[in-house]
Amino acid sequence: WNVSASGARPNPQGSFRYGSINVTQKYLVQNKPPSLVHGKLRTALNGISYVNPATPLRLADQYKLKGIYTLDFPTKPKDGPPVMATSVIDGTFRGFMEIVLQNNVTSVQSYHLDGYAFFVVG
């Protein structure tokens, strides 16, 4: 099983027509200033403070291991205090996803996106 190949290719013979591609998923990802979660100052995206699992995510996915992560990352910011979880976005195979990163703090944030191709719009 090749865990590093394939991706969305609506027109493999020539140039893409990005204006006519159907966006299959949309996410508004918002970070907030750090807050106390289980006695520690932590940041969160859409109300979820990420917990690094003991098993790498790609291996857990490849071998269909249960309980390592959840596919319930919210599509928009949640109200209430943040929770700790290993929640990932469940992308549609060969689909196109629109992700809006909203920074609500005064510091610069960096993000790691894992997928086939990314285009920065603004």
What is the maximal distance between C-alpha atoms in the chain? Answer: 54
Contact 78, 111 (CB under 8 A): no
| DSSP 8-state code for residue 70 | B
Question: Is this prediction's pTM over 0.85?
Answer: no
pLDDT of residue 112: 79
Q: What pLDDT digit, counting tens, does each position of 32-58 carry?
A: 889 999 899 999 999 999 999 999 999
Contact 23, 97 (CB under 8 A): yes
**Residue 44: count of CB within 10 angstroms of its CB:** 22
pLDDT of residue 77: 95
Ranges under pLDDT 70 in the chain: 1-18, 116, 122
User: Which residues does 6 contact at the CB level (< 8 Å), separation at least 6?
Assistant: 93, 94, 116
Distance CA 57, CA 109 (A): 23
Distance CA 7, CA 11 (A): 12
Distance CA 60, CA 56 (A): 6
Distance CA 16, CA 12 (A): 8
**Nearest partner of 48 among 82, 7, 4, judged by Cα:** 82
pLDDT of residue 42: 93
In CATH, the architecture of 21-103 is: Sandwich (2.60)
